[in-house]
Amino acid sequence: MTGTSKKQMEYIPLGDIGDNALTRFSLDPAPEALVQSIRELGITHPVLLAPKGTHYPIVCGHRRIECARLLGLDTVPAFVLDATPPSSESLKLNLLENLGQREYSDIEKGRVVHQLTAAGVPEAEIIKDCLPLLDLERSKKLCVDLNRCAVFSENLNTLLHRLRVPLRVFSILFRWDEAGREAAETLLDTLRPGVNKCRELLELIDETAVKENTSPHEILNRKEIQTPLKHAGLPVNEQYDAVQKQLRLWRYPVLTDLQKQVYKAIDQLKLDGRIKLRTPENFESDQFKIELNFSSREELTAQVEQLFRVTDSEALDELIRIFRDMQ
């Protein structure tokens, strides 16, 4: 893939090695396991450097260099190329070395594709030669979508990466404006949802914005969304439930009156906050679920006794009636 050759392995002073943003794709710090391995065994796999004046930019081995700095090493084993390769060749060398060793998130794959594009690698070549190195199918649409990750801020990129949100979920953000993406960043950073919950939130926001002919930013800045998000004493799961519930009310207004009746009946049950009553979504069944959270026999006993009391309440009868009438 490249005509640049590397010399024999040598030890290079750490102070002579320069960072190289071009070939750094990872959004994670060096893993502790790698730090521990290098602490005990040293760097057993030399890094790959390119000569540039009196310094050596990193082509492959960013995390090994990071570990060496953390451990205070003076030198690192390295192969030094006989000349500085073009940016496109440096990128391909990095991908080849990490083949089968690294599992990139979709956001990191987007960074790779964007940097290949910025380095002048033709799209057809990226699709044919580079996407397979990222364990991706050869797809023009996939290449285009990954390239669009460049519109995200660094903070949003890092957040989506750490939440491991896949392209099929975060691609909805491509059509949002910058203000909408900033609001989404705040939402996801506060709630830290799993992939499925993240997908549901983004779809509800997007669909509501389209239905009401407004922007995702306007939806997310409404008082009904901001109040639970800014409630510092509210557990994250309850913040999520409040936001999701409100978004569903806006998205499915035909169900609003029924849902209000449901919420009123649930409130009248006066359940302990550690008892979670899960009602069927979209009134698709009449089956309810109850979740108990306890850390002692006494807490469990108290919750079970409360459930027995609830079985005699008119509110429970009303709740059951609402869902049965919908079947």
Residue 161: both structure tokens together = 């990466």
pLDDT classification of 100: cutoffs 50, 70, 90: low
- State CA 59 to chain mean position distance: 27
pLDDT over 90 at 65, yes or no: yes
Residue listed under structure tokens 């993240």 = 198
The whole-angstrom separation of Cα 282 and Cα 279 is 9
Report CA torsion sign: 303, 308, 313, 318.
Answer: positive
pLDDT at 1: 43
The whole-angstrom separation of Cα 239 and Cα 226 is 10
How do the domains of the chain map onto residue ranges?
Answer: 1-102, 105-151, 153-251, 255-327
CATH code of the domain made up of 1-102: 3.90.1530.10
pLDDT at 256: 64
Q: What phi and psi values does residue 239 have, to the nearest 5 degrees? A: -60, -45
The one-letter amino acid code at 215 reads S
Please state the rounded mean pLDDT for residues 53-60.
Answer: 88
pLDDT in tens, 217-253: 999 999 999 999 999 889 999 999 999 989 988 988 7
The whole-angstrom separation of Cα 50 and Cα 135 is 27
Residue 9: both structure tokens together = 């392995």
pLDDT at 254: 64
pLDDT in tens, 179-216: 999 999 999 999 999 999 999 999 999 999 999 999 99
The one-letter amino acid code at 316 reads L
The whole-angstrom separation of Cα 70 and Cα 118 is 31
**Across the strands, what pairs with 96?**
none
Residue 282: both structure tokens together = 């979209």
pLDDT in tens, 133-153: 888 999 999 999 999 999 999
Decide: 198 and 163 in contact? Cβ < 8 Å.
yes
Give the residue from 293, 298, 302 showing the smallest Cα distance to 275: 293
